[in-house]
Chains A and B, each alone.
Chain A
Amino acid sequence: MSAGTFQNGRIYMDANATTPLLPEVVEAMRPYWTEQFGNASSIHLDGQTARTAIDRARETLAEFFNCHDAEVVFNSGGTEGDNTALFGLLHPGDHLITTSIEHSAVLQAAKKLERFGVTTTFVAPQPSGLIEPMDILRAIRPETRLISVMLANNETGVVQPVAEIGKIAADTGAFFHIDAVQGAGKVKFDVRKWGAHLVSISGHKVHGPKGVGAMFVRKGTPVDALIVGGSHERRRRAGTENVPGIVGLAKAIEIAMHSVEDGTMTRLAGLRDKLEAGVLALPGTGLNGALVDGKAAPRVANTTNIWFDNLEGEGLVIALDLKGIAVSGGSACHSGATEPSHVLMAMGLNKHRAGASLRFSLLKSVTEAQVDRVLAVLPEAVQNLRALAPVSAGTLA
């Protein structure tokens, strides 16, 4: 596997933002750009070839979700999936339960729905970053129609107890959507066991292409299409199918299914743990969440999130970038500047500490040499930032 091996010598530790395509994925997609270019809705042979490719991809995704083929809908990615779940199920007067650590694709959709008479309860996480299922239960109302909780958090990697939440949904008659974008390729999927009605994933987080994703829609779930204009995807998502993207997604998912079980995650967790221990050995640092009573919370294997005393995270991200290391320090706001992570703040960190936190999210292809290199570069960068006594602002108060 050569993905993430950069000829430019850069070290990429921002896999939760996006991942490179695997060479196998590029290969699988290749014929569908030029030779097999047909429209899957066409009757002729060219169309049928495209249709076959999509149907095969759907089978792969069904195996991945543990669902029936007909329950897989291809779309443009995680944001569309999240939007579809909320906009497609909720009507004026309905109540939504979600969490304050969701992706903006859920949070902003919920905000928008407020204007149309949908009320939302945002359940806060424990300091560990875990959502307590009892908090979900306590938020249930007679008019609760949907519960939307993410599988794995993008900032902390903490894996939420979705099966328990699924039981609550089943007991109370609410629909259950899981934003599983950050869990795909990292934990084993089983939408039946989770009791989910809707599950969203995205291609580019699992070494697939950008701009393509898929959604599990449990049979009979009355979710309105977000995009209309054709009978594609059983009328659940209009628009000519992105055949190369769908083929690439399926290939990436096929590989991801294996890597969840073939020891890749153990190796990845080992390197993550080494990196984490090395960073935490620096004075004035600490792990963000991921601990329950001193014990590790369930977490995906590639992510760690660490705060640093007495510095601004934004500066550290830039300093590391200029040294060839890509990490993340919060979420990008409209201008591209960094804002403190809303996830960390929801976990109880103050704005300053949340803004002085870094997320390292490793690619599966990460090497021990890369981890060592980061651990060699980081102390000096941190020291430089901390050594800066504020430059005097002169006498102007």
Chain B
Amino acid sequence: MSEKRTIAVAMSGGVDSSTVAAMLARLGDGNRVVGLTLQLWDQTRLAGKHGIPEAPKAGRCCSLDDVYDARRVAEHLGIPYYVVNQEERFEKDVVRPFVSEYLAGRTPIPCSLCNNHLKFDQLLKTARSIGADAIATGHYAVNEFDEKRGRWILKRPADLAKDQTYFLFGLTQEQLAHTLFPLGSLTKPEVREVARQKGLALAEKPDSQEICFIPGGDYKQFLTAYLEEQGEEIPDTAGELVASNGEVIGKHAGISNFTVGQRKGLNVGSPSPLYVLNIDPASHRVTVGADAELATQTLRANRLNWISIPELTEPMRVKAKIRHRHEPAWATLEPAGADEVMARFDEPQRAVTPGQSAVFYDGDEVVGGGWIV
């Protein structure tokens, strides 16, 4: 770090990104730190409609409280701070695809879309346009350049409970090269301790969990309210509930009410618990069955991004993670056509869900990932 750099910190108003700003601003290495908050969604937009809470709780991104918190941290640190309006792009690149995926019977994962389109792509662009060389975020992940392979590597962080690499598999080499993850070597309690030491008033602020633009966490309410606002009808995807042997055992009101692995809300009587096994967007059929039937041996994923390797050309042993809270499982990964791979698990895995991402690990390294089809 001989040359003085300008680093843009993506500040959400939470503990993690605030601590990153404090760590970098107080280094005293002469680097300039600028705080940026992306304004992604107007939390008041659908408030009060179809049961969506009137007043968003704290911890929703872009709630006024969070922008206020981020601004207060920047003031405390004495760094310039700006809110950048990306509502239009967020709606186009994250909210719209989220809605379409649900309507198509899949279970989308908006955080990865947001990371790829907004947090890293757009933020990096904004950062560079204002003269910054790099961005820093509060994600728990490690990135480092490997001379031997000539590639930027993304690795799991010290605090595996906070590991966010699952949401970061789409980062390009260029994005990784211009991003700092200062929290990669810290645990969450350590981060809070740093926040306290730096005098941040929000050191004890609770973490946010839900999808940021869905206050209350009820995605069905959101779909209804959003489509109504857009003057669009929820397409009629009502259909049959069928058992795994093909027998029709009931009807349902629409496929967007279901996600693979779901147990509640099926409204059919059965001696043993039933789970959604499969959603067919073409026939609107929802197949249900026993827990054991949820397990599958293979998955296919497309729209791939590779990080530790330039491309997958031959079978590779990996651990595959198929949802945020999934413990990665051993699998053999092999190419399966253009921009598509197949993972064959050693042990069958429960509820492989189309729309979620599959991320492949080699030890601590993220090999790459894609979207489950």
Contacts and interface: CB of A to CB of B under 8 A. Distances in A.
A223 B170 CA distance: 61
A321 B131 CA distance: 11
Interface string A288-314: 000000000000000000000001101
Nearest to A340: B85
- Report, nearest first, the 3 A-B pairs whose CB atoms are least far apart: A337-B85, A337-B39, A315-B129
A224 interface: no
Interface stretch (A88-96, A159-167, A206-214, A328-336): A328-336
A396 B85 contact: no
Interface string B303-338: 111000000000000000000000000000000000
Contact of A335 (B6, B34, B67, B129): B67
Interface stretch (A60-68, A150-158, A240-248, A384-392): A384-392
A376 to B, nearest CB: 16
Chief secondary structure at chain A's binding surface: loop
Interface of A: 311-312, 314-316, 318-319, 321-323, 333-339, 351, 384-385, 388, 390-397
Contacts of B82: 314, 318, 321, 336
A336 B83 contact: yes
Nearest to A397: B303
A384 B131 contact: yes
Contact of A391 (B42, B170, B175): B175
Contact of B304 (A314, A334, A395): A395
A314 B85 contact: yes
A336 B67 contact: yes
B17 interface: no
Contacts of A336: 39, 67, 71, 82-83
Contacts of B339: 395
6 contacts: A311-B129, A312-B129, A318-B129, A323-B131, A337-B83, A337-B87
Contacts of A384: 128-129, 131
A392 B125 contact: no
Given A391-B121, A391-B174, A394-B172, A314 B84 contact: yes
Interface in B14-57: 34, 37, 39, 42, 44
A136 B361 CA distance: 68
Contacts of A393: 116-117, 121, 170, 172
B248 interface: no
Contacts of B170: 393-396
B34 A322 contact: yes
B84 A396 contact: no
A337 B38 CA distance: 8
B62 to A, nearest CB: 6
Contacts of A312: 126, 129
B85 A333 contact: yes
Contacts of B71: 336
Most buried by B among A323, A338, A385, A396: A396
Most interface-central of A322, A391, A397 (chain B CB within 10 A): A391
Contacts of B128: 384, 388, 391
A312 B339 CA distance: 33
A314 B130 CA distance: 10
B116 A396 contact: yes
Given A314-B85, A315-B129, A336-B82, 7 more contacts: A334-B42, A337-B85, A385-B129, A388-B129, A391-B120, A394-B175, A395-B304
B67 to A, nearest CB: 5
Nearest to A319: B130
A391 B67 contact: no
B235 interface: no
A390 B121 contact: yes
A311 B129 CA distance: 9
Contact of A339 (B62, B85, B116, B174): B85
B303 A318 contact: no
B130 A396 contact: no
Contacts of A339: 85
A397 B108 CA distance: 13
Contacts of A392: 121, 172, 174-175
A394 B39 contact: no
B39 A333 contact: yes
A56 to B, nearest CB: 40
B81 to A, nearest CB: 9
A316 B62 CA distance: 22
B255 to A, nearest CB: 22
Contacts of A337: 37, 39, 83-85, 87
B7 to A, nearest CB: 12
Contacts of B80: 321-322
B359 to A, nearest CB: 12
A323 B128 CA distance: 14
A391 B174 CA distance: 8
Interface string B176-214: 000000000000000000000000000000000000000
A336 B113 CA distance: 24
